[in-house]
Amino acid sequence: MKYPKLIIDLAKIQENAALLNKLCRENGIEPVGVTKVTCGDPEVARAFIAGGIEMLGESRVENARRLREAGINAPMLLLRLPMASQVEDVVKYFQVSLNSELATIEALNRAAANQSTIHKIILMVDLGDLREGIWPDQLETTVKAIAGLEHIQLLGLGTNLTCYGGVIPTQQNLGQLLSLNERAQAVYGRPLPVISGGNSSSLPLLLAGKLPPVTQLRLGESIVLGRETVARAPVPGAHLDCFQLQAEVIELREKPSVPIGEIGQDAFGGTPEFVNKGIHKRAIVALGRQDVAIDSLEAPDGIEIIGASSDHLLLDVTNYASTLAVGDILTFSPGYGALLAAMTSQFVHKEYRH
């Protein structure tokens, strides 16, 4: 066996996808299955599709190329704003992209003309989270310019919430998105059927029956980890253990809880602080910051994560109920950041379970 290892339960991912797909479609919403946290993993994408997801969401051309080369033919939405240097590949691999910059949209128009196709876009509006998006007072001018592009089709408006500024979706800000879409439609002169109302953070409103009538949600964490992203509360009926991260114990000793000597900076330029808990039983596992974001990693019951360097994860195992020895394997639950890092790391082996 090879460690560290990420166990990927495809059956549970498929069941989560089916659960969210059903919830959305019963409410007139198209769910976009976001696979970016898995770096466009084809096996995960197939589980999404088997669960009923029809469109995939990705943030990088490289991930989209990986999916296409693996035979995944589902339509794809580019979630990160396109780079002007990649417009040819964006048109090649993505049917739809999120956009806010008119210069980039014009470049996409030229790329689509070169490929004799129509590229579809969703115009992003900033409703306060302060990531991507035009300001509402720029709407009419921007839509009018888009309407003159022969190889671009505007599908509607979208917004991003919680990802950067932590702004929570509400009936008010999503209601504003609906009103803006009506204004855009009047300028565009054609129906704009897509109102892309955010990500998994919009699920609490949906579950409470209070979500304004958006027509699309971009869902990633709710499928792969079974949680909404406002309070990280479980989605009712969803699996929370689709991914498990395993690492091997490489040292087990009793050591002081405070280093001995003058304290300077650690390997990452920070100055660590320690609480003196006396002598404790400490384990090191072969997993580090090069592999995982430790602040979103949940240790087994009775174990406390006390720190990490590039290649070592330090654990206080004093209160761990089971017997532990060098060579034993410990299983951790990754949060979103830990999962993203583990999927990205070439040093974390992936094991798929069906």
Q: Which residues are catalytic?
A: 36
Q: What is the DSSP string of 231-294?
A: S-PBPTT--S-SEEEEEEEEEEEEEESS-SS-----TTS---------EEEEEEES--TTT--G
Stretch (H or E) spanning 346: none
Residue 191 CA, chain-centre distance (Å), reads 30
Q: What are phi and psi of 177, to 5 degrees?
A: -60, -40
Give the residues across from 152 on adjacent strands: 119
* Closest among 131, 125, 136 to 165, alpha carbons compared: 131
Instruction: Indicate the pairing of strand 304-308 with strand 313-316.
Output: antiparallel
Q: Assess contact for 38 and 44: CB atoms under 8 A.
A: yes
* Closest among 161, 86, 150 to 126, alpha carbons compared: 161
CA gap 176, 72 in Å, rounded? 36
